[in-house]
Amino acid sequence: MRKGNGKAIMVLVLFVGIIILLFISFLSFTKSSEEQAAEAVHQFYKLEQKGTFSESWEMFHPQMQQKFEKSHYLQDRPHVFMNHFGVDTYTYTISDPTEVQDWSMESGVEPIDRAFLFKVYKTYKGKYGNFTIVQDVYTAEVQGEWSILWDYNK
């Protein structure tokens, strides 16, 4: 056995170990589609809680943006939920996601190949007492970003 072989084997083992560690690190930092979709729902409702409706409107899927003019949404959303209910904010929880295929937010619009359904529970404490609203919220990926949709099917 030559003297240099031991060093070469150690370098090779070290190199393979580093490659394995990098691969494991990559896998642990890469989030699943479900996790990314859940983060989008959380981000949307955190923006709504803060009253930054302009930013939350930007998170809507293009089909939703066509449904609401931005200026109308910015006026109507806080008016209905905050002013009428007599609350400043709310708390919320979301369910685990359920994957759905070929889903449409309403009849007559193009179906979305793959979406995730979340049940969102928003709890208000206001002048009319405490109450919780449950809403089905869908997420779909558009150009690498997760967007928000609501269900309008009858």
Per-residue pLDDT of the chain (154 residues; tens, 9 = 90+): 555 577 778 777 777 777 776 666 565 567 899 999 999 999 999 999 998 999 999 999 999 999 989 999 999 888 877 777 788 778 999 999 999 999 999 999 999 999 999 999 999 988 888 999 999 999 999 999 999 999 999 8
Residue among 84, 76, 82, 96 at smallest CA distance from 137: 96
pLDDT recorded at residue 126: 83
Q: Is there a single domain that holds both residue 105 and residue 121?
A: yes
Q: Is there a single domain that holds both residue 108 and residue 76?
A: yes
Q: Is there a single domain that holds both residue 40 and residue 90?
A: yes
Number of domains the chain contains = 2
Q: Give this prediction's pTM.
A: 0.78
pLDDT recorded at residue 112: 96
pLDDT recorded at residue 141: 97
All residues at 6 or more sequence positions from 31 whose CB lies less than 8 Å from its CB, including other chains:
39
Q: Are 56 and 97 in contact (CB under 8 A)?
A: no
Domain range for 54 is 33-150
Q: Is there a single domain that holds both residue 85 and residue 9?
A: no
Q: Is there a single domain that holds both residue 46 and residue 88?
A: yes
Q: What are phi and psi of 119, to 5 degrees?
A: -95, 125
Q: Is there a single domain that holds both residue 1 and residue 62?
A: no
Q: Is there a single domain that holds both residue 52 and residue 16?
A: no
pLDDT recorded at residue 3: 57
pLDDT recorded at residue 103: 97
